[in-house]
Structure 1
Amino acid sequence: MPPTPGDRAPDFESLLCTGETFRSTRLSAAFDGGGVLVFSAFAFSAIAENWWKRYDRAGWDEFDVPVLGVSRDGPYAVNAFVRYLDSPFRMFADVDGAASEAYDLLTPRSGMANASTPMRAVFVVDEERTVRDAWVADDWISPVPREAVEEAVAEL
């Protein structure tokens, strides 16, 4: 079951991509002081592109805590995606699915043999890695409740 408010957010280590470089990083190091963790499926998918553009337009890069993505793609694809979007956000390349699995979000993709991706999800995490707000999609297209995320970030 994915973490819910009050749970301790699982820590993981993966390649954190900036759009130019990538480095193996623990979530706990990247979230020193809390943050927002956004799981999405594949870079360059229409849904992922739409999401990240919305977060940028909504000013999520101006939060007092970082907003980090998690994508099942490799670091070169994730870096290319960040550059393509001209995104202010960094994203973990969850190549082996370990981060998605730690959050119990990994699900097989229908029609894509041997492919699994995380369900779309957003977690607001405080400085002690306690989940303050959590949203997990029931489908691939429902919008993220941005106002709830923004309110939870404001309360950190």
Structure 2
Amino acid sequence: MVEFDVVELEPSDHPEVGETAPDFTRPLVGREYWEDASLSELASDEPLVLVFTPMDGAFPATYVWNEIRDREWGDSIRVVGLSISTPYEHKTLIEERDIDHALFSDPNNGVAREYGIDHALDGMAGITEPRPAVFVLDDERTVEYAWVANEWPDFPDYDAVEDAIESL
């Protein structure tokens, strides 16, 4: 059994329900290719779920994407992810985990800082990553549901996310 310490995270200053999620443009990686895309473009036609995860390969990211795949969220809403992993790492994760969703690549972690959900990795000076978070957004980027981890590791209440998706 893998042992790890549960770490309490500092309070976040993330977008709350009713607020507009910040827009950004980053490489969006899919199964076939990647290209720069903005959140506002993706959300302009339909609601979506924006999922922030730690770097690819970290067990919380793997667990979250497996759960989203198994729950088939993509059948009812567009789901996009974001982490500090490079497009190359995202391609590997998509293939290995059979993920049907596109993933934003943000190696400098600027989006997480803008969303108020970045945190420093213990023992890695100058390295930050997003804390796990889920935002359900309507087609105007209004936050309809927000969950942000308060400790590491922590996982969303998947049933609550599904309720938010169904209420759109």
Bin the TM-score by the shorter chain.
over 0.9
SS for the counterpart of 2:147 is strand
Match of 1:115 among 123, 127, 142: 127
User: 1-side partners of 2:132 and 2:52: how far apart?
Assistant: 5
Aligned sequence identity (%): 32
Gaps spanning 5+ residues in structure 1: where?
none
Query: Which residue number in structure 1 is paired with residue 17 of structure 2?
Result: 5
Structure 1 residue 113 displacement after superposition: 2.2
> What's the CA shift string for 1:60-113, capped at 9, x where partnerless?
1212x2111001011111111111111111100012212112211111111122
Superposed, which structure 2 residues align to 1:72-111 within 5 Å? Answer: 72-111=84-123
Gaps spanning 5+ residues in structure 2: where?
1-12
Normalised to the residue count of structure 2, the TM-score between the two structures is 0.88
RMSD over aligned CA atoms reads 1.1
User: 1-side partners of 2:129 and 2:82: how far apart?
Assistant: 10
Structure 1 residue 20 displacement after superposition: 3.0
Report if the CA contact (8 A) 1:19-1:80 is conserved.
Answer: no
**Which is higher, the Rg of structure 1 or of structure 2?**
2
Matched, 1:47 2:57: no
Aligned length: 155
Report if the CA contact (8 A) 1:73-1:95 is conserved.
Answer: yes
Query: Which residue number in structure 2 is paired with residue 62 of structure 1?
Result: 75
